[in-house]
Amino acid sequence: MSTLSGKTLFITGASRGIGKAIGVRAARDGANIVLFAKTTTPHPKLPGTLYTAAEAMQAAGGKTLICVGDIREEDQVQAAVDKAVDTFGGIDILVNNASAISLTSTETTDMKRFDLMHQINTRGTFLASQRCLPHLKKAANPHVLNLAPPLHFGAHWFARHCAYTMAKYGMSLCVYGMAEEYRGKVAFNALWPRTAIDTAAVQNHLGGAQSIQAARTPDIMADAAYHILCQDARQCSGNFFIDDEVVQQAGITDLSQYQVDPSLKPEQLLPDFFLD
């Protein structure tokens, strides 16, 4: 197993939550982190900005590059990729973390929200992958990691929030197709949490403080991502990983360290979507 020392990671949605945590974990190895997101000023309900995230990564030992942009805008993604290559000499890893969520039924999902989810989740993932690929193919151990669920086609996952499921599964389908298209050249994998994670999305969409108490911290996703990204890209591709399985295989047996409330039993934690 290698380390991420000197590697350049391009992370979408890197200003907070899981994206930030993955950047901080990589920074502990001395990685270069390219932060791509829109958040430059504090949001009243969403803590953290690109600048505070970058400060945390620098404090952990990494070098950072802030790229302000919208994952829906082709020219802005391309400009960020170009700037990353100019600054660090290439791109070794892409983390497609940016995502939008709306847990609404078919009749209550307005088309503006539908378009937002599909443009950020599916199209944004495809676009970022497409623009990073010319540089990833030149890297020694190139990885793309999508924060996307395994493709479980139980009807109940579509019946509850069809538009969101379609958009999120679009990220999963990128892994499914691109892993085969670039087999032996660039690794494409997905990572998904077993439980709810203490993020703004959980606070705003899954019941607030009560749900957070039954969640795990973003650190479990960061540790899992780290172990995936250190694998041989030519031997580790096309997988749909679950966070706790990855860290356990890496030798971390005490998962209570990742719980917001360590006193809870594992069965008391809030399960995430798309896992049957």
pLDDT at 122: 98
Taking only the tens place, the pLDDT of each residue in 38-73 is 988 877 666 789 999 999 999 999 999 999 999 999
Residue 182 has pLDDT above 70, yes or no: yes
Taking only the tens place, the pLDDT of each residue in 212-258 is 899 999 999 999 999 999 999 999 999 999 999 999 999 999 999 99
pLDDT at 47: 73
Does the active-site annotation cover 164? yes
* Alpha-carbon distances, residue 1 vs 26, 54, 162 (angstroms): 14, 26, 39
Mean pLDDT of 136-160: 96
**Which pLDDT band, with edges at 50, 70 and 90, does 117 fall under?**
very high
Q: Given 51, 164, 182, 258, which residue is catalytic?
A: 164
